Amino acid sequence: MSGTLVLVRHGQSDWNLKNLFTGWKDPDLTELGVQEATAGGEALAATGIKFDIAFTSELKRAQNTCRIVLEKVGQPNLETIRDLALNERDYGDLSGLNKDDARAKWGEEQVHIWRRSYDIPPPGGESLRDTGARVWPYYLTEILPRVLKGQTVLVAAHGNSLRSLVMVLDRLSKEEILKLNLATGVPMVYKLNADSTVASKEVLGDMSGAH
Ligand SMILES: O=C(O)[C@@H](CO)OP(=O)(O)O
């Protein structure tokens, strides 16, 4: 066995609360989002985990989640690398639109396909596959080598940038990924084997309410 990889989706953002497509827009956490990040950090602290390095995106909802988690595990000054590669999927023309208004305009099924399918992008935006095309190389070159060296690595990012990683780690099919939603602020703790497959996965919280 090698190291440990912890993935956590940012807590609720202002635009999650307002039910708007967000993508690369940069709203901050709501009060509930701060509480969710705090709870995730506390759940990790209870395991006694200590990180060697943290990664986050260029967007403040993920950066602030990362900061809160690191404070809770007692490592507020840990080296943290920010990279666009971990940003949320770009929602293109849907960014800033209300999700219910979009359903009314284009239909429930079309909007679900844009939100959750593997390879059908929203107009002007990225599909999950497009998102993976930047997340996966970044994971392979920057994150995985550290885990394989035995390090414990935190990645605080976004619903869809993390779905693309979970798809590979959990070996999910295109059909299975359609159904996967990650809960905000709930850490997923992966132990990896030396061949980079998953030895174990533990979810520290409740994923059932994920939207
Ligand atoms: O708006 C977004 O950028 C994402 C994540 O909140 O939404 P969705 O759940 O549609 O992927």
Q: Count Cβ atoms below 10 Å from residue 171 Cβ, excluding itself.
A: 10
Q: Could you say which DSSP state residue 197 is in?
A: S
ipTM above 0.90, yes or no: yes
Taking alpha carbons only, the member of 157, 153, 183 closest to residue 58 is 157
Give the whole-angstrom CA distance, residue 43 versus residue 174. 31
Q: Which of 10, 36, 126, 158 is catalytic?
A: 10
Give residue 13's pLDDT: 97
Q: Count Cβ atoms below 10 Å from residue 39 Cβ, excluding itself.
A: 19
Give residue 210's pLDDT: 82
Give residue 178's pLDDT: 86
Give residue 209's pLDDT: 75
* Token code pair at residue 33: 């989002």
Give the whole-angstrom CA distance, residue 83 versus residue 169. 20
Give the whole-angstrom CA distance, residue 110 versus residue 120. 10
Topology of domain 4-186, CATH: Rossmann fold (3.40.50)
Give residue 81's pLDDT: 98
Give residue 208's pLDDT: 84
Whose Cα sits closest to atom 6 in ligand 1? 16
The answer to whether residue 211 is catalytic is no
Give residue 145's pLDDT: 98
Q: Which atom in ligand 1 lies closest to the alpha carbon of residue 115? A: 10
SS3 category, 75:
coil
Q: Give the CA angle between residues 103, 105, 108 to the nearest 5°.
A: 30
Report mean pLDDT in 10-residue bins for the chain, 211 residues: 95 97 98 98 98 98 98 98 98 98 97 94 97 98 98 98 98 93 97 97 91 75
Q: Which of 31, 71, 88, 112 is catalytic?
A: 88
